[in-house]
Structure 1
Amino acid sequence: MVLADIQSQYDHRNLDIDRVGIKDILYPIVVKDKKNGKQSTVARINMYVKLPHNFKGTHMSRFVEVLNNHRTNIALESFKGILDDLQTVLNSEEAYIEITFPYFIEKTAPVSKLPSLMDYECTFVGISSKDKKDFTVSVKVPVISLCPCSKEISDYGAHNQRSYVTIKVRYKGMIWIEDLIEIAESSASAPIFSLLKREDEKYITEFSYDNPVFVEDIVRNAANKLLLDERVTWFEVSSENYESIHNHSAYAVIARDKRGG
């Protein structure tokens, strides 16, 4: 018995659909790790294609088939193959993938030297069509920011808070997630750790006090490092400071295309 293929039937409304597919599927993946070679994690994945006006629908099951075929080798280098397969299997002009996952790094406390794991939110995005191939990697990094103005005018202490620095890049060659995390952490007042003993807490508190930064300083510090990195061809760096003395955040962003033109 031949089952009807409703999705491939003609649609009379004459409207292309920009993106259609599956959203928020949880899937185990393996990504490259600078220290250990590979790291297993679980990602939330969005996969879409462009649907021509003459087709009623796309074939949703084929997205998962493509994903399953590549699940042991999902990295920025393999994105082109995944996108090409999506375009071929779904007969589409354009394919889009967004993969967001926690990435873990072992960090050592500054004084006690105790190890612990820190998680960072990372996102890979790939878009492929006959006219363009576009790939970006981004990482969201928690840091400490301590206010220079508060330090200057106060007799005791200074207000400080957790901030999130998000760095998104296009690049050539190979760029490691760890490299982007280091840029973000070194641009703020101090990094954050999962495990700190009292001697570590004292060190981080004093270190951040000695390195006060506005939200503007954070994005400028990071942007300067990205401008000097020859692997990076385009970047966007933002910082959101969750102000401890206000009921709102402070925010700044810098974007630059280093390719010219």
Structure 2
Amino acid sequence: MELQDKEPTISIDIEMLGFKNVRRKLVLRTDKGSIALDADISLYVDVDSSRRGVHLSRTAEALLEVIEERYEAKTIEEYLDAMALKLLEKHEYIKRAIVNAKLTYYIEIEYHGIRGLEPIEIEVEVERLRNGERFWKLSVGVKGITVCPSAKESIASMLNQNIEIAPSHMQRVVLKGRIISRGNFIGIEKIARTLFNSVSAPTFTLLKRTQEAKLVLEAHKKPMFIEDVVREAIWNIGKEIKSFDKQTIIEVEVESYESIHPHNLYAYKKTTLEQLIELGL
């Protein structure tokens, strides 16, 4: 009997044991060809109170075998789900497996005729139970712009201007949406676009002068406090996943990098799909 298979001195179970942030390249097959993304992958299994440990080399084997077998998979979640299943296969003594990946992803966005391939930060996690149950966590972070409604209103009053054309200060915001669900998974790009639509305007890597002017003008047509951003984002996400299990959890957080203050602003909301439906979603 190997050491890991023996009973521990203290019979306490361990919820998660494994490798954290293993950097690997994942190749995705898309309509526009293959793309390679660097991901930090974490793989965990539980340890029963009757075991001293697990055979961690099997965890490494699960990771590498899936990457080789799934070369050019269609989605990130396909890779992770296959890894979780492989962990359950190789570690016959575990009850659950968790696989998590963090990476920078790129999507094409369009805003009033302005187009760009823009980076988003994503975190995807799958938890597979021995009884067949599966849980997903998806976190997507985008960068956008907000226009201050308060300053806009004050300037319009001071200059006796139409509020629609009154200027205001703008700031860059980082908006993150997170979904925790049983069984269901929604596309990364769909949630990213939902978040981009929940700010005054998205940010773009490249803007020519006329595009820059158009972006600023269009953003001023949708002034928002970060409170507005949180509420709109959580409502919009709810509409996208209305068919999911009613106990699905939705979290939204936004940090605003203030342009006229030496500090940042932050807002956060956590709710369930059921609570949003009760509000009339």
Alignment of 1:110-149 (within 5 A): 116-130=116-130, 132-149=133-150
Shift of 1:170: 4.5
| Structure 2 length-normalised TM | 0.79
Q: Gapped runs of 5+ residues in structure 1?
A: none
Shift of 1:199: 1.0
Aligned to 2:270: 255
CA distance in 1, matches of 2:126, 2:29: 17
Matched, 1:244 2:274: no
AA aligned to 2:85 is D
CA distance in 2, matches of 1:76, 1:38: 16
Alignment of 1:216-227 (within 5 A): 216-227=227-238
**Could you tell me which of 5, 14, 19 is aligned with 1:17?**
14
AA aligned to 2:171 is Q
More deviation, 239-248/60-69: 239-248
The 8 Å contact of residues 184 and 244 in structure 2, kept in 1 or not, is answered as no
CA 124–14 in structure 1, closer or farther in 2 if over 3 Å, else same: same
The 8 Å contact of residues 32 and 75 in structure 1, kept in 2 or not, is answered as no
CA distance in 1, matches of 2:232, 2:203: 18
| Helix, strand or coil at the partner of 2:52 | coil
CA distance in 1, matches of 2:121, 2:46: 27
The 8 Å contact of residues 88 and 130 in structure 2, kept in 1 or not, is answered as no
Shift of 1:174: 6.0
CA distance in 2, matches of 1:22, 1:140: 24
Aligned to 1:153: 154
| Helix, strand or coil at the partner of 2:39 | strand
CA 185–121 in structure 1, closer or farther in 2 if over 3 Å, else same: same
Shift of 1:67: 1.2
Matched, 1:214 2:225: yes
| Helix, strand or coil at the partner of 1:46 | strand
Q: C-alpha root-mean-square deviation of aligned residues, in Å? A: 2.8
Matched, 1:26 2:23: yes
Matched, 1:7 2:9: no
| Helix, strand or coil at the partner of 1:15 | coil
Cα deviation per residue 1:65-94 (whole Å; 9 max; x = unaligned)? 111222233632454442222123122112
CA distance in 2, matches of 1:226, 1:32: 26
The 8 Å contact of residues 200 and 223 in structure 2, kept in 1 or not, is answered as yes
Shift of 1:179: 1.2
Q: Gapped runs of 5+ residues in structure 2?
A: 159-165
CA distance in 1, matches of 2:47, 2:36: 33
CA distance in 1, matches of 2:172, 2:129: 40
The 8 Å contact of residues 111 and 202 in structure 2, kept in 1 or not, is answered as no
Matched, 1:182 2:203: no
Shift of 1:221: 1.4
Alignment of 1:41-190 (within 5 A): 41-71=37-67, 72=71, 73=73, 75-77=76-78, 79-90=80-91, 91-107=93-109, 116-130=116-130, 132-154=133-155, 157-170=167-180, 175-190=186-201
The 8 Å contact of residues 163 and 241 in structure 1, kept in 2 or not, is answered as yes
Shift of 1:202: 0.9
| Structure 1 length-normalised TM | 0.85
CA 85–195 in structure 1, closer or farther in 2 if over 3 Å, else same: same
Shift of 1:213: 0.3
| Helix, strand or coil at the partner of 1:128 | strand
| Helix, strand or coil at the partner of 1:76 | helix
| Helix, strand or coil at the partner of 2:57 | helix
CA distance in 1, matches of 2:272, 2:111: 36
Cα deviation per residue 1:25-78 (whole Å; 9 max; x = unaligned)? 101113475x54764311011111111223232222222211122223363245
AA aligned to 2:203 is I
CA distance in 2, matches of 1:32, 1:237: 30
AA aligned to 1:63 is T
The 8 Å contact of residues 31 and 38 in structure 1, kept in 2 or not, is answered as yes
Shift of 1:134: 0.8
Shift of 1:128: 2.2
